[in-house]
Structure 1
Amino acid sequence: MATRRIQRTEESRRLLVTAAAELFAEKGYRQTSFIDIADKAGISRGSIPWHFGNKLGLLEAVIDDQIQVVLAASASPAGEGSSGPLEQVMSFIRLPVTRLFITLLAEAVEVDSPVREHYARLHAALREGAQARIPAKAVPAGTTPEAFTVVLVGAILGVHAQWRVAPEAVDLDAVHATLRALLPAGLK
Structure 2
Amino acid sequence: MTSPGQRRIDEIGDESRRRILDAAEELFAERGFDRTSFVDIAKRSGISRGSIPWHFKNKDGLVMAVVERVVDRIWPAERYQSVPSLTEVFTETAELLRSGNSALVFMVLVEALGDRGVVTEQYQQFFTRRREGIEVLLRLRRPADVDPAVAEGKERAAAVALNGALLGIHLQALVDPENVDLESALVSVATMFDRNIADVWA
Q: Which amino acid aligns with 1:78?
A: V
Contact 1:126 1:153 in 2 (8 A): yes
Q: Which has the higher contact order (CA 8 A, sep 6+)?
A: 1
Partner SS state of residue 167, structure 1: coil
Contact 1:131 1:145 in 2 (8 A): yes
Partner SS state of residue 84, structure 1: helix
How far apart in 2 are the matches of 1:4 and 1:89?
35
Q: Deviations over 1:98-121 (max 9, x none)?
A: 322111111111144441111111
Structure 1 stretches (4+) deviating beyond 4 angstroms?
A: 63-69
How far apart in 2 are the matches of 1:53 and 1:176?
36
Partner SS state of residue 101, structure 2: helix
Alignment of 1:20-59 (within 5 A): 20-59=24-63
Contact 2:170 2:182 in 1 (8 A): no
Asked if 1:73 corresponds to 2:83, the answer is no
Partner SS state of residue 32, structure 1: coil
Aligned length: 179
Asked if 1:164 corresponds to 2:164, the answer is no
Q: Deviations over 1:3-55 (max 9, x none)?
A: 33331122101221233244335544333211332233232222212322322
Q: CA, structure 1 residues 89+6, in 2 after alignment: closer, same or farther (shift >3 Å)?
A: closer
Alignment of 1:1-188 (within 5 A): 1-63=5-67, 65=69, 70-75=76-81, 77-78=82-83, 84-134=88-138, 135-136=141-142, 144-185=154-195
RMSD of Structure 2 on Structure 1 (CA): 3.0
How far apart in 2 are the matches of 1:101 and 1:121?
13
Partner SS state of residue 160, structure 1: helix
How far apart in 2 are the matches of 1:53 and 1:177?
39
Structure 2 portions without partners, runs of 5+: 144-152, 198-202
Q: Which amino acid aligns with 2:27?
A: L
Q: Report the TM-score when normalising by structure 1.
A: 0.76
